[in-house]
A = this chain, B = another copy of it.
């Protein structure tokens, strides 16, 4: 990766890879607010200014860390013969990755021009193509899926961060409906109607149901 072919001076030398690795660890354990140049420098046993030799600024730090994490999922993506299954697998892989790294979900929605979004687009689009989606509808369908996947995953991850541990998930969701409807008890017939389902739903399953809905729509409009 270095310009010259010379050997490294010492094995523990700073490098962009090591910096990003440490950044991912800090982001995972301390969230977005935990990632500071001081904390990163401390973990790498260096000065904060040293990081700037390898990384332009905090934005690049966050963007590269996100690339790292998404790259991992996209590489691991299980090969599925059936295009629908393949799309579901990619979607679920991204959902789980963003659930594990909520900061990556926020970053992708904030900067959807990131290369990772291009790779996701390519993967989803390629599978849709194999599904014989007509040329005219192909781009719209891929775009809808990518927007849905990234949006739903980011929102879910944010929600999951807020919720206490799973024991009282039902209670937590019930309180959410209550807070939403309390200002106008008669104004939320729909929310009251689905309240029971809301409290007990599984985020992952519902996410997949959304994927299936879009895929059904793709099939229906063919």
Contact = CB atoms under 8 A, between A and B. Distances in A.
A28 interface: no
A72 B139 CA distance: 32
Interface string A124-156: 011001000000001111111001101110110
A221 interface: yes
Contacts of A180: 115, 117-119, 121-122
A132 to B, nearest CB: 14
A158 B190 contact: no
Q: How many copies does the complex hold?
A: 2
A98 to B, nearest CB: 11
A218 interface: yes
A213 B209 contact: no
Contacts of A126: 189-190
Contacts of A198: 139
A42 interface: no
A151 B109 contact: yes
Given A176-B113, A187-B122, A201 B155 contact: no
B148 A148 contact: yes
B144 A147 contact: no
Given A140-B206, A220-B217, A155 B151 contact: yes
